[in-house]
Amino acid sequence: MHPDPLATHDVTNQPPPLLEQDVYGGDNVLVEAVAREGAAWAGDDLHALGRLAGSPEAQLWSEQANTYVPVLRTHDRYGRRIDRVDYHPAYHELMRVAIEHGIHAAPWADERAGAHVARAAKMVVWYQVDGGHMCPVSMTYSVLPALRQQPDLASEWEPGILSRTYDPTFAPPGDKAGLTCGMAMTEKQGGSDVRANTTTATPVAGGGPGGEYLLTGHKWFCSAPMSDAFLMLAQAPGGLSCFLTPRWQPDGTPNVFRIQRLKDKLGDRSNASSEIELAGTWARMVGDEGRGVRTIIEMVNHTRLDCSLGSAALMRRGVTEAIHHTSHRDAFGGRLVDKPLMQNVLADLAIESEAATVPVLWLAGIFDRARAGDEHAAALRRLATPVLKYWTCKRAPVHLAEAMECLGGVGFVEETGLPRLYRQAPVNGIWEGSGNVICLDVLRAVGRSPESLDALFGQLHSVAGHDHRLDDAVEALAKDLADPDDLELRARDLVERLALVLQGSLLVACSPEAVAEAFCATRLGHHGGRAFGTLPRHTDVAAIVARHAPAA
C-alpha cells in the first residue's frame, strides 16, 4: 500500500476525549462532602447521574442546546399573539434528566436528613454538563419555600412542581404531568432596587393574601419564560407585594404574557432570558400585602445557594479538563502534568476548587438543619449564604481563565468546551444580587441579626489553634467588623475576608493537610502571589493534583 501523497502528518500527542467517566465518583472532594454532610444514602443515584453526565450522549446534548439556541415566536402564521419560545430537543433532554433526578424539587418531598445535600451534589454534577438549563431547575427548586407562605396556593401547585416528570407542553397546569416555575423581579428603571418597581397590581374582588389581581407593567429580566408560573413583585394598594403569575388563566385561556424579545447574552445561551410586558395579567398574591420582599426572600436564599453550587461546578470542570489535558500531553521532554511549574498551577486551581466545593456542600447541610428547625443553623445560613455566594462566584471566572491557559491555544477553541464554561462563569455573580448588593446584604445581616455573626464565628473558633494564619486572620477580621466607621466603603473587603476565613476553617476541619496548609499559606498568610501557580515551595503539589485528577 502506498502512503497518501497528500498526507502531511499523523495526529499524535493529543489527549483522548474526556468521556465515559463517572463525574461524581471521580470527584473525591464531592464524594467525601456528601458522606460528611449526611447524604451517603444518595450514592447510587449520584453515581448513576455522574455516569450519564460523563457520557457522549450528554455532552452532545450540551453542544446542541448551546448551538441551536432558543427562538422566540411572538405570533402564529395568522397574526395571533402566541408568545412562545422554541427549544432544541437537546434542551428538553437535559431538562428531563434534571427533573427525573429531582434536582428541581426533591428536598421538598423528602424529609430525610441530607436531602438538600444530595440535591446540591446532583446540581454540581449535572451543572458541569450545561449550566443554562439549570436556571429553570433552580428557580423551580427555590419557589416552593416562598409559595408555602400561602398554603392555599401551595396546595394547588405543589403536586405538579414535585412531580419528576418533565412536561414541556404549553398547556394549563391541570393538564400537565409536571410543572416548572420562574421568577421575574427586576425592571428597567430599578434593576436590583426592586422597591423602585412600577408594575401595578389591581385587586379583583377585594384581593388580599391568596386573592386575585391584575398586573400591568414590565419585567426587564424574565428567565425561562416557558415556565408554568412565575413569582413577581408589583405595587399593590398596600405596597410592594409578591404574586404568583401563571402562563394560563383559570378559564383555560393563555394569560397576558407578552414576550417582547430574548436577551442576547454572553453565555447561558441554552436558556432563554426575556423581556416581558404585563397588561391586565392575572395573578394571585403570595403572603401579606406590602411584604413582597420578605415573602420572596426565601426564593432568593435558595437561588443564591445554587449560584454558589454552579460556580463550584464550573471550577471543578475546569480543573478536570486541565488535569486531563496535561496528563496526556508531552512537552519539553516529559508529560506536562509532571512539570513542576504546571503542577503548581494545577494544584492551585485544585485548591480553589476544593475551597469552593467543601463550603457549598456544608452550606447545603446548613439548609437541611435549618429546615428541621435548628435555630443556630438558621442564623448561620442567614450570613453564610451571601458570604459564600459573593466569593465563590467571584473566583469562578478567573479560575476558568487559568484552566483554559493550561491547555494553551486550543483552550481558547470552542471545541474544547472551556470557552463556554468561561462565558457561563460570570452569570452566577450577577444573578440573585451582584457583588455590591450581596455585600450590602451581609452588612444588613450583621447589623440586624447579630446572632448570625456569632454563629459564623462559632464555626471559625471551632478550629482555633490548628493554624496560626487562620487564627490571626479571624482575630483581625473581628476587630475590623467591630469598627462602625465606613462600613459600606469597606464592605467588599470585609465580605471577602469572611469568605476566606470560613473556607479556611472548613478546609482545616475537612480536607487533607496539604490542601489546608497551602490554602492558609496563600490565601491568609500572604505567601502566594496574585495569580494561580504561586504556591510556596514546600507544598505537596503532586498529591493535590492526584487528589483532583478525574478517574481514568
E-state strands within 249-332: 258-262, 273-286, 330-331
- Sorting pLDDT into bands at 50, 70 and 90, what band is 483? very high
Would you state the cell numbers that stand for residue 57, as one nine-digit string? 450522549
pLDDT digits (tens, 9 = 90+) for 285-303: 999 999 999 999 889 999 9
pLDDT value of position 193:
86
Span 420-439, average pLDDT:
95
- Sorting pLDDT into bands at 50, 70 and 90, what band is 153? very high
Q: How far apart are CA 238 and CA 206, in angstroms?
A: 12
Span 77-81, average pLDDT:
96
pLDDT digits (tens, 9 = 90+) for 491-527: 999 999 999 999 999 999 999 999 999 999 999 998 8
Residues of the chain with pLDDT > 70, as a percent, come to 99
pLDDT value of position 192:
83
| DSSP structural state of residue 445 | H
- Sorting pLDDT into bands at 50, 70 and 90, what band is 552? low
Q: Answer whether 181-291 and 294-548 agree in fold.
A: no
DSSP run (H or E) holding 154 = helix 151-162
pLDDT digits (tens, 9 = 90+) for 123-136: 999 999 999 999 99
According to the CATH classification, is domain 294-548 in 3.40.50.300?
no
pLDDT value of position 101:
98
Alpha helices in 83-147 (DSSP H): 89-100, 106-109, 115-127, 134-147
Residue 145 has pLDDT above 60, yes or no: yes
CB 427 within 8 A of CB 357: no
| Mean pLDDT of all residues belonging to the chain | 96
Q: How far apart are CA 385 and CA 240, in angstroms?
A: 25
Q: How far apart are CA 456 and CA 442, in angstroms?
A: 12
- Sorting pLDDT into bands at 50, 70 and 90, what band is 190? confident
In the chain, the amino acid numbered 511 is S
CB 53 within 8 A of CB 121: no
Residue 446 has pLDDT above 70, yes or no: yes
pLDDT value of position 352:
98
Tell me how crowded residue 443 is: count the other CB atoms within 10 A of its CB.
17
Domain spans of the chain, in order of start: 28-162, 181-291, 294-548
Residue 205 has pLDDT above 60, yes or no: yes
- Sorting pLDDT into bands at 50, 70 and 90, what band is 7? confident
In the chain, the amino acid numbered 84 is R
pLDDT digits (tens, 9 = 90+) for 320-372: 999 999 999 999 999 999 999 999 999 999 999 999 999 999 999 999 999 99
Give CA 143 to chain center in angstroms.
Answer: 15
Would you state the cell numbers that stand for residue 303, as one nine-digit string? 437561588
pLDDT value of position 2:
63
Please list, in sequence order, all residues whose beta carbon lies within 8 angstroms of the beta carbon of residue 457, skipping any fewer than 6 positions away. 474, 478
Buried/exposed 197-223: b ≥16 CB within 10 Å, e otherwise? bebebebeeebebeebbbbbbbbbbbb
Please list, in sequence order, all residues whose beta carbon lies within 8 angstroms of the beta carbon of residue 384, skipping any fewer than 6 positions away. 359, 363, 366, 456, 502
pLDDT digits (tens, 9 = 90+) for 368-410: 999 999 999 999 999 999 999 999 999 999 999 999 999 999 9
CATH number of 181-291: 2.40.110.20
